Structures are given as C-alpha cells and as structure tokens.
C-alpha cells in the first residue's frame, strides 16, 4: 500500500507540473500574462508541496507514509485540474483564430474599399492595374500584377502589366516578338487553361510544372504563378495574375489569400469592362474624327475647285455678255443705216420724179 501511495503521489506531482506548463502556454495564446502566471504559480506551489511530502518520506527521520486515500483524492484533483486547463486551451486557440480571422477579414474589407475608390477614378487599364497592385502588395506581399483581356472568340489575350519590376522583363520579351502583348491562346497550354478556368489557377513551381513554357519562364524568371478569372455576370473578360520571380522564391497563397484575390478580381471586372467600353468609344471617336477631317479636306478641295470654276465661268460669261452687248449696238447701227438708206432711196426717187 505504501508503494501505491508513493506512485499516486508521483503521478499527482507530474500532472500538476503539466497543468502549470499548459497554464504558461495560455499566456502566449490569450495575452493574459498576470492571470495565467498566478494560476501557473499556484499549481507549481501545489506540486512543490506534494514533492516535499515525497522527499520527506525518503529522507532521514520517521516520516509518515503517504495516505493512499488522501493521495488518491489529490490525484483526482490534479487530473481534473489538468483536464480542465487542457480542455480550455482549444477554446482560447479557437477564439484567437476567430479574432485573427476577423481582423484579417477587416483588413481585406478595408483593402477592397480602398480599391473600389481607386477603381472609380481609373480611366485607363494601367491606372486600374496599379491600384490593384498596391492592394495586393499590402495584403499578400506579391510585388507583381498583370491581367489578360480576352477577345470575344478567346483566340487572343491582350496582356496588360502594372508598374513594377516585371515591366523591365517584358521589355526584353518585346524586343524578340513582333506583338509581345497580344498572345495567341491556342497552342499555349497555360493560356488555354486560364481561358477556360472557372476558378483560381495556381502554378506552385513554374520551373517544373508541365503547363508552363520553359523558355518564357527562363526569360522572365517565373517562380510561382497565380491567375484568377475575371467574370462580369457570365462573361469571362479575362484573368488577373500575380506571383513571384527570381530571388523571391516559391510562395503559394494561403486559402484566405486566394479568397481575397478572387474578391479583388471580381471588383476589377466592372472597371475593366467600363474601361474596355471607354477605349472602344475613344477608338470610335478617333475614327470618326479622322473621317470628319477627311470629309472636311474633301469639302475644302471641292470648294476650291468650285471657286476656280466660278472665276473661269465669270470670265467666260463676261466675254459672251460683252459680245451680246456689241451685237445689240451693231444691230442698232445697222438699223439706223438701213433706215438712212431707205430715206436716201426715197429722196432719190423723189428727185427723179421732180426731174422728170
């Protein structure tokens, strides 16, 4: 019985020390340093008191052996204390995670609110992409952002890039291609998947992933590639991309970061469609302006021709009008001469009659 009492006492001491360790752990989880420090100290002192009894039994003197019943009750108390602290740890961990998730969601909401304000002011693709890149950098730390705008038939993708280090990389890409920012989708496995994707597409390692073009990866230095589809209603406008390059290494987005990127892409959809329509309108206005200028030039040319013809016609008319006036005067003179001749003939006839 004495040995059983000693074993129970040792187990009780160990349980109390474990409970103290859990209490100390809760300081980091809850941030309540004073409260859990006092609890841990109390549990440690209880264990020390039990330890004193144990050492007294084995030390010199005639120490009373441990009472099995009393030590059993103490063991139950230590066990219940340990179980209580152990069961409360997950509650605090869950609470802390919920608080962190709430703070994270609040950060995301504030970011999307700032993005919405920036997108309202955006008049060009670059302005919209730069506003989105600023928020992506703030929330997830990714330094780069680009977008693919698909043609209606999804045969081509126009690549647009926000400001950042990737711009210089694409300049090298441009020097080797005639149309670097207009990419053919068919035949490019990565672009084909992006064009058909309904959900986020993540390439964890662009160096080894079979979907990537290794020549382009080597040229640009891609590491992790993330593309998020951009939908407006049921229309697939394109895709928003981000990721890491070169020394940035490989970094796969967390679930919350993926959710944030999906929300960000949905916020961009309306703006990109608005800018697309605005761009088409400007192109139509430029085309109309060219036609108007061409028409005005034709009108000026025809007006000049008409003015020249009018001058020539006026000269011609003056010539004929002058001729007509001279003919009228000549006719009058002839008529006068005819009248004079008639009078002379009459006088001659009269003279002949008188002479006879």
Q: Provide the pLDDT for residue 65.
A: 65
Q: Assign 6 a pLDDT band (cuts: 50, 70, 90).
A: confident
Q: Which residue has the higher pLDDT, 344 or 21?
A: 21
Q: Provide the pLDDT for residue 52.
A: 74
Which among 9-23, 51-65, 207-221 has the top mean pLDDT?
207-221
Please name the helix (run of DSSP H) or strand (run of DSSP E) that holds residue 201, with its range, or none: strand 201-203
Q: Provide the pLDDT for residue 328.
A: 73
Q: Provide the pLDDT for residue 180.
A: 44
Backbone angles phi, psi at 201, to 5 degrees: -115, 120
pLDDT digits (tens, 9 = 90+) for 184-225: 888 889 999 999 999 999 999 999 999 998 988 888 889 999
Q: Provide the pLDDT for residue 56.
A: 66
pLDDT digits (tens, 9 = 90+) for 104-118: 889 999 999 999 999
Q: Provide the pLDDT for residue 354.
A: 63
Q: Provide the pLDDT for residue 179.
A: 44
Count Cβ atoms within 10 A of the Cβ of residue 11 and give its class: 0-12 exposed, 13-18 middle, 19 or more buried: middle
Q: Which residue has the higher pLDDT, 223 or 356?
A: 223
Backbone angles phi, psi at 49, to 5 degrees: -60, -40
Percent of the chain exceeding pLDDT 90 equals: 22
Q: Which residue has the higher pLDDT, 147 or 302?
A: 147
Does the structure show a pLDDT above 90 at 310? no
Does the structure show a pLDDT above 70 at 161? yes
Q: Assign 175 a pLDDT band (cuts: 50, 70, 90).
A: very low
pLDDT digits (tens, 9 = 90+) for 231-257: 988 889 999 999 999 889 999 999 999
Q: Which residue has the higher pLDDT, 319 or 106?
A: 106
User: What are the distances in angstroms from CA 189 to CA 65, 88, 195, 210, 212?
Assistant: 79, 51, 10, 9, 7
Q: Provide the pLDDT for residue 99.
A: 82
Does the structure show a pLDDT above 90 at 162? no
Q: Helix 68-121 crosses helix 125-139 at what angle (to 10 degrees)?
A: 170
Q: Which residue has the higher pLDDT, 53 or 189?
A: 189
pTM over 0.85: no
Percent of the chain exceeding pLDDT 70 equals: 84
Q: Which residue has the higher pLDDT, 147 or 52?
A: 147
Torsion, Cα 221 226 231 234, to 10 degrees, reads 110
Quickly count: other Cβ atoms within 10 Å of residue 40's Cβ. Answer: 20
Q: Provide the pLDDT for residue 240.
A: 93
pLDDT digits (tens, 9 = 90+) for 93-144: 788 888 888 888 899 999 999 999 999 899 888 899 999 999 999 998 899 9
């Amino acid at each position: 019985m004495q040995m059983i009492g000693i074993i129970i006492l040792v187990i009780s001491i160990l349980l109390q020390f474990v409970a103290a360790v859990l209490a100390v752990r809760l300081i980091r989880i809850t941030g309540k340093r004073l409260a859990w420090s006092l609890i841990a100290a109390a549990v440690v002192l209880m264990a020390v008191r039990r330890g004193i009894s144990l050492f007294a039994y084995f030390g010199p003197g005639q120490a009373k052996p441990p009472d099995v019943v009393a030590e059993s009750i103490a063991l139950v108390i230590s066990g219940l204390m340990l179980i209580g602290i152990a069961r409360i740890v997950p509650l605090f961990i869950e609470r802390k995670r919920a608080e962190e998730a709430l703070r994270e969601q609040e950060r995301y909401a504030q970011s999307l609110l700032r993005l919405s304000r920036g997108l309202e002011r955006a008049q060009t693709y670059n302005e919209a992409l730069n506003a989105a890149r600023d928020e992506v950098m703030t929330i997830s730390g990714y330094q780069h952002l680009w977008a693919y705008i698909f043609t209606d038939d999804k045969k081509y993708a126009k690549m647009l890039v926000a400001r950042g280090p990737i711009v210089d990389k694409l300049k090298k890409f441009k020097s080797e291609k005639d149309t670097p920012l207009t990419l053919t989708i068919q035949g490019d496995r990565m672009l084909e998947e992006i064009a058909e994707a309904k959900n986020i597409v993540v390439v964890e390692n662009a160096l080894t992933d079979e979907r990537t073009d290794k020549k382009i990866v080597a040229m640009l230095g891609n590491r992790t590639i993330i593309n998020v589809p951009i939908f407006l209603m049921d229309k697939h406008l394109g895709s928003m991309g981000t990721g890491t390059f070169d020394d940035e290494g490989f970094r796969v987005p967390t679930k919350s970061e993926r959710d944030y990127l999906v929300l960000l892409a949905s916020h961009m959809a309306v703006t990109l469609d608005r800018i697309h329509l605005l761009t088409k309108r400007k192109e139509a206005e430029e085309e109309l302006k060219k036609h108007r200028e061409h028409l005005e030039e034709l009108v000026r040319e025809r007006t000049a021709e008409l003015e020249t013809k009018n001058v020539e016609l006026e000269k011609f008319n003056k010539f004929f009008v002058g001729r007509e006036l001279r003919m009228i005067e000549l006719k009058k003179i002839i008529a006068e001469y005819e009248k004079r001749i008639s009078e002379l003939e009459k006088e001659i006839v009269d003279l002949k009659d008188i002479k006879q």
